Amino acid sequence: MSINSKKMSAENRSQLVAEMRKEEQQRQSGYREQALKLFPHVCARCGREFEGQKIRELTVHHVDHNHDNNPPSGSNWALLCIYCHDHEHTRGVQEDREDDNPDDRQKQDSLSHSPFAALGKQLKQKP
């Protein structure tokens, strides 16, 4: 009985993960379709036009870089071709690095090098 219930919960968990992934994909394709309806199929940066099969190269950029911020008015979306989209994010990263406090970066690095140490602390804090 206990073996069965263990198996059940594992299956439920992977099912849940699969459903979450599906929802995420639907959400993403959802706002892309909305943005494509809302805006002309032109890259907002280089002005190239996209039609037919080429429209796959046109992607939705989130102006505030928050993919969860999807107002139906489209105020957080910009249609960018994959090249300009790439450039837009690379530029953002470089700007972030200049503003970055070196102390913060070191902290982040040490955390990512020892994920289990952080996890151990969290576990100990719980009663």
Q: Which residues bind Zn ion (CB under 5 A)?
A: 43, 45-46, 61, 81, 84
The C-alpha atoms of residue 103 and residue 94 are separated, in whole angstroms, by 17
The C-alpha atoms of residue 84 and residue 79 are separated, in whole angstroms, by 10
Cβ-based nearer residue to Zn ion, 32 or 45: 45
Max Cα separation, the chain? 63
The least CB distance from residue 45 to Zn ion, in Å, is 5
The least CB distance from residue 49 to Zn ion, in Å, is 10
Cβ-based nearer residue to Zn ion, 25 or 83: 83
Cβ-based nearer residue to Zn ion, 35 or 81: 81
The C-alpha atoms of residue 80 and residue 88 are separated, in whole angstroms, by 9
